[in-house]
Structure 1
Amino acid sequence: MKINEQLVLVTGGSRGLGAAIARSFVREGAQVIINYYQSKERAEKLAEELGPRALALQGDIRSKEDMENLFRKAEEHFGKSVTTIIHNALIDFQFDSDNKKDAFTIEWEDVKKQLEGSVRGALNIIQAGLEKMKASKFGRIITIGTNLFQNPVVSYHDYTTAKAALLALTRNMAQELGPYNITVNMVSGGLLKTTDASRATSDEVFKLIEATTPLRRVTSPEELADAVLFFASPWSRAVTGQNLVVDGGLVMD
């Protein structure tokens, strides 16, 4: 299925990387659901900017009922079911290396909060769309990961652990859903310049990344968003269970 035929759900789609992903898909002709939890004004403003192919819908990814209702409303509005899921939402996290909790202070509740967003959220949205994808024999599921679980230059214990678990879920889903022509892949960025979550990052850290990255620049949300398009496109139809690192070559795997 071509991108311009797809109905795409972007969780956490009102700002930062999510907004860049929504813009990329609309640019390529897709219809897009901008999912938000609290950022109502920003989500609706983005939907207005993107025009009739975009719709802002509220829903907490941690709630199975919310996600089922969101998929139902999206189908009622666009007259077709969701074909493509981008799991991007991030729950209450800042890339603040100066004020993060370290090995002595991190608590299980911190880790649990990130697991709830990354893994429980993924499970809820995948299950909400799965029956329709199976029936239509087409589905594209793309999770957003991080290069930090390959090279934890900063020990964000809660965030990185949750994203590593999300990669495991991504690959398990890829294995099980492949017979239905549903692919499941991950796109992992590094620190992006700039999103709401990376605003807390110091200029010194960004300069260090620039100096040690082969492309000599920090990856932008727009660059990562365009890489997400590949996994939704016909060109990736034989690719599933993969993790594509998009960070200018900082991590090579």
Structure 2
Amino acid sequence: MRIDEQVVLVTGAGRGLGAAIAAAFGREGARVVVNYRRSAEAAAAVSAPFGDRAMAMQADVTDPGAVAAMLSTAEIRFGTPVTTVVHNALSDFRFNGDDRAKIADISWADFAAQMEVSVRGALNLIQAASPAMAARGFGRIVTIGTNLFQNPVVPYHDYTAAKAALLSLTRTAAADLGPQGITVNMLSGGLLRTTDASAATPGAVFDLIAQSTPLRRVTTPEEFADAVLFFASPWSRAVTGQNLVVDGGLVRD
């Protein structure tokens, strides 16, 4: 199914990377649900350029009832079920390694908060969206990970652990849903220049990362968003259960 034939739900799309992903799909002609939890005005601004092909919708992805209601409302609005889900929502987090708790001090509550949004949110979305996808024999689920699996250079213990669990869910869901025509893949970025979450990162860190990549620059949210389009496109129809790292070549294993 072409992107311009699809209905795409992007979670956490009111700002940052999610906003860039939603805008990329809108630019390609998809009908887009711009999900947000608190950023109502920002989400409305993301959807506005695309007129009646986009809608901003509030829902907490950790609430299965809210997720189901959001998908139902989107189907009524666009006259067809959601075909692609991009799970980008992130529990409140600021990417500044100097301010993060080290392993001796971090609490389980920090891990649980990240797991709730990354993993429970993904499960709620998969369970709510996959029946309609299976009924038509087509669906695309994309999760957002991190290159810190391979390159844990900062003490983001809770964030990285939750994203690692999300990668496991991505792969097991791919095996389960593949026979129904549904692919499930992950894209993992590094530090992006710049989102609300990465705005707290010192400039020297951006410079160091830029010099460590083959491209000699830090990936932007818009560049990352373009890669997300691949997993929703017809060209990825034989790809599932994969983790594509989009970080300018910083991590290569």
* Residue deviations 1:90-125 (CA, integer Å, cap 9, x gap): 111110111111111100000000000100000001
1:89 aligns with 89
1:169 correspondence with 2:169: yes
2:36 aligns with 36
1:26 aligns with 26
1:118 aligns with 118
1:144-163 to structure 2, matched below 5 A, reads 144-163=144-163
Unaligned runs of 5+ in 1: none
Corresponding residue SS for 1:215: coil
1:56-67 to structure 2, matched below 5 A, reads 56-67=56-67
* Residue deviations 1:122-171 (CA, integer Å, cap 9, x gap): 00011111110110100000000000011101120000000000000000
Q: How many residues align?
A: 253
* Residue deviations 1:158-208 (CA, integer Å, cap 9, x gap): 000000000000000000100011000000000000001101000010010
1:206-217 to structure 2, matched below 5 A, reads 206-217=206-217
1:87-236 to structure 2, matched below 5 A, reads 87-236=87-236
Corresponding residue SS for 1:12: coil
TM-score by length of structure 2 reads: 0.99
Shift of residue 44 of structure 1? Answer: 1.1
Shift of residue 222 of structure 1? Answer: 0.3
For residues 45 and 191 of structure 2, what CA distance do their matches in structure 1 show? 26
For residues 59 and 234 of structure 2, what CA distance do their matches in structure 1 show? 29
Unaligned runs of 5+ in 2: none
Corresponding residue SS for 2:98: coil
Code of the aligned partner of 1:141: I
For residues 112 and 145 of structure 1, what CA distance do their matches in structure 2 show? 17
1:39-78 to structure 2, matched below 5 A, reads 39-78=39-78
Corresponding residue SS for 2:97: coil
For residues 162 and 53 of structure 1, what CA distance do their matches in structure 2 show? 33
Code of the aligned partner of 1:81: P
Corresponding residue SS for 2:73: helix
Code of the aligned partner of 1:223: E
For residues 217 and 68 of structure 1, what CA distance do their matches in structure 2 show? 40
Cα RMSD of the aligned pairs, angstroms, is 0.6
For residues 235 and 159 of structure 1, what CA distance do their matches in structure 2 show? 31
TM-score by length of structure 1 reads: 0.99
For residues 119 and 162 of structure 2, what CA distance do their matches in structure 1 show? 7
Code of the aligned partner of 2:220: S
For residues 85 and 109 of structure 2, what CA distance do their matches in structure 1 show? 27
* Residue deviations 1:216-244 (CA, integer Å, cap 9, x gap): 00000000000000000000000000000
For residues 21 and 33 of structure 2, what CA distance do their matches in structure 1 show? 11
